[in-house]
């Protein structure tokens, strides 16, 4: 296959997103035009957009979970990208499709869709990426707000009885808590894993575990982060928890606790995993799979054991989180 001129070598975070003190500073999202009514906004239409995400990327995983929770499968199409084997790292590729080509968009690499949207873009093509099928351009990669757009602007297309993940009366609190989760947990693990100085690493590590401690305390009396029902914040926390013991741990250095060592957080994570949309979009075995070298004397844990661990069985062990709810039979409150 002849590669398009728009295929780009993927920039490295550790070369382009590190400040003078060794701290990881995540690049800004390139396409952040909001969905909704109003001049310049992206129109909300069924069948117009395609969501591109990756199993290993928690930023995109939360959009795929919310899409299914709200019943938007026939409204926004979807496809997965992964990493192919090339001499150079060419970034996200449609490795699961015939000829490594997305059957709807007709491209091999996500970078081609970014170039369609901005030929001068030099950053990392990231997921989630919402592509306008009519133009084959990425129109939104703003993971910060994407789930909220699905929850609010796409409400006319929600399935009957869809959960209200972003209730009006809690939005200010949810937004504030989501900022906390981003800084200390979701991006916190990457701040530690990409840190290029011990100062930056220790700072990120300490903030990460301080956040886990506060979440553990919060979940002592609450079934979910905001009480009896799942909200947008729970989706954002879950996707990081799902990757912590399966993958992140090996790049974090000497970890203080695994997720399984937090009584409340671990029960909470398993409670969410029982929801089909969470389970269907969480590929635990794929997350844990390692490409380590088996020819060396010391082989990393995942390379040795990932295929022997019953991840689904582990995450499906019983928990009694419903006892903390005043509405134990329901995990969701329907949108009214």
Phi/psi of residue 191, nearest 5 degrees = -60, -40
- The pLDDT of 64-91, averaged and rounded, is 93
- Among the residue ranges 7-16, 62-71, 135-144, 255-264, the one predicted with the least confidence is 7-16
Question: Distance between CA atoms of 335 and 284, rounded to whole angstroms?
Answer: 30
Q: How does pLDDT run across 163-197, given as a tens digit for each residue?
A: 999 999 999 999 999 999 999 999 999 999 999 99
**Interacting residues of 306 by C-beta distance below 8 A, sequence separation 6+:** 285, 288, 289, 290
Give the pLDDT of residue 86. 87
Instruction: Kindly tell me if the per-residue pLDDT of 299 is higher than 50.
Output: yes
Confidence at residue 1, expressed as pLDDT on a 0 to 100 scale: 46
| pLDDT of residue 239 exceeding 80 | yes
Residue position matching structure tokens 């937090």: 262
Domains and CATH numbers, the chain: 13-157 (3.40.30.10), 168-324 (1.20.1050.10)
Better-predicted residue by pLDDT, 205 or 21: 205
Pinpoint the alpha helices (H) of 142-197. 143-151, 171-181, 188-193
pLDDT tier for residue 29 given thresholds of 50, 70 and 90? confident
Instruction: Give the mean pLDDT of 46-58.
Output: 97
Catalytic residue among 57, 177, 201, 268: 57
The percentage of the chain sitting over the pLDDT mark of 70, rounded to a whole number, equals 98
| Residue 268 predicted with pLDDT over 90 | yes
Question: Which is higher by pLDDT, 4 or 281?
Answer: 281
Residues 6+ away with beta carbon under 8 Å from 100: 1, 84, 93, 94, 108
pTM beyond 0.85: yes
Report the candidate in 119, 156, 154 with the shortest Cα–Cα distance to residue 49: 154
**For 223, which DSSP code?**
S
Minimal CA–CA distance to 22: which of 233, 184, 204? 204
- Angle, nearest 10°, between helix axes 58-69 and 143-151? 0
Closest CA to 167 of 207, 116, 109, 224: 224
Does residue 147 have a pLDDT over 80? yes
Arithmetic mean of pLDDT, 71-98? 92
For the segment 216-235, what is each residue's pLDDT rounded down to a tens digit? Answer: 999 999 999 999 999 999 99
Sheet holding 137-140, edge to edge: 77-80, 49-53, 129-132, 137-140
Catalytic status, residue 247: no
Average pLDDT rounded to a whole number, residues 113-119: 93
Q: What is the pLDDT of residue 4?
A: 63
In this predicted structure, the answer to whether residue 2 has a pLDDT above a threshold of 60 is: no
Write down the mean pLDDT value for the chain. 93
Segment 73-86, tens digit of pLDDT: 999 999 999 998 88
**Rounded mean pLDDT of 95-113?**
96
Catalytic hit among 114, 149, 166, 190: 190
Active site (annotated) includes residue 114: no
Q: Which residue has the tokens 């419903």?
A: 322
Q: What is the DSSP string of 305-332?
A: HGGG--HHHHHTS---GGGG-SSTT-S-
CB neighbours of 290 closer than 8 A, spacing ≥ 6? 300, 302, 303, 306
Residue 88, pLDDT score = 78
pLDDT of residue 315: 97
Whether 18 and 129 have beta carbons less than 8 Å apart is answered as no
pLDDT at 3 (0 to 100) = 55
Going from the C-alpha of 111 to that of each of 49, 94, 240, the distances in angstroms are 17, 11, 25
C-alpha span between 86 and 170 (Å, rounded): 47
């Amino acid at each position: 296959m002849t590669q398009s001129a728009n295929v780009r070598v993927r920039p490295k975070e550790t070369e382009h997103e590190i400040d003078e003190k060794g701290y990881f500073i995540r690049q800004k999202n390139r396409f952040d035009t909001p969905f909704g009514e109003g001049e310049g906004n992206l129109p909300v239409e069924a069948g117009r957009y395609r969501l591109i995400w990756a199993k290993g990327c928690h930023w995109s995983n939360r959009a795929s979970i919310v899409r299914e929770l709200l019943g938007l499968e026939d409204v926004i199409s979807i496809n997965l990208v992964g990493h192919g084997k090339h001499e150079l790292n060419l970034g996200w590729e449609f490795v699961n499709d015939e000829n490594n080509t997305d059957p709807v968009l007709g491209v091999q690499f996500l970078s081609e869709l970014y170039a369609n949207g901005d030929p001068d873009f030099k950053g990392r093509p990231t997921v989630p990426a919402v592509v306008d099928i009519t133009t084959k351009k990425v129109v939104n990669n703003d993971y910060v707000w994407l789930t909220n757009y699905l929850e609010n602007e796409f409400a006319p297309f929600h399935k009957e009885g869809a959960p209200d993940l972003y209730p009006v009366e809690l939005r200010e609190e949810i937004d504030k808590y989501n900022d906390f989760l981003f800084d200390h947990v979701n991006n916190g693990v990457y701040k530690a894993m990409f840190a290029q100085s011990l100062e930056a690493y220790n700072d990120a590590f300490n903030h990460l575990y301080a956040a886990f401690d506060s979440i553990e305390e919060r979940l002592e009396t609450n079934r979910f982060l905001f009480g009896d029902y799942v909200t947008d914040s729970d989706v954002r926390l879950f996707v990081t928890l799902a990757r912590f013991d399966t993958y992140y741990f090996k790049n974090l250095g000497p970890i203080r606790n695994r997720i399984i060592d937090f009584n409340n957080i671990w029960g909470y994570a398993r409670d969410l995993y029982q929801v089909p949309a969470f389970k269907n979009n969480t590929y635990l075995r794929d997350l844990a799979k390692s490409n380590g070298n088996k020819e060396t004397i010391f082989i990393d844990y995942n390379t040795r054991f990932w295929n022997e661990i019953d991840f689904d069985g582990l995450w499906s062990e019983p928990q009694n989180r419903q006892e903390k709810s005043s509405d134990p039979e329901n995990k969701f409150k329907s949108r009214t």
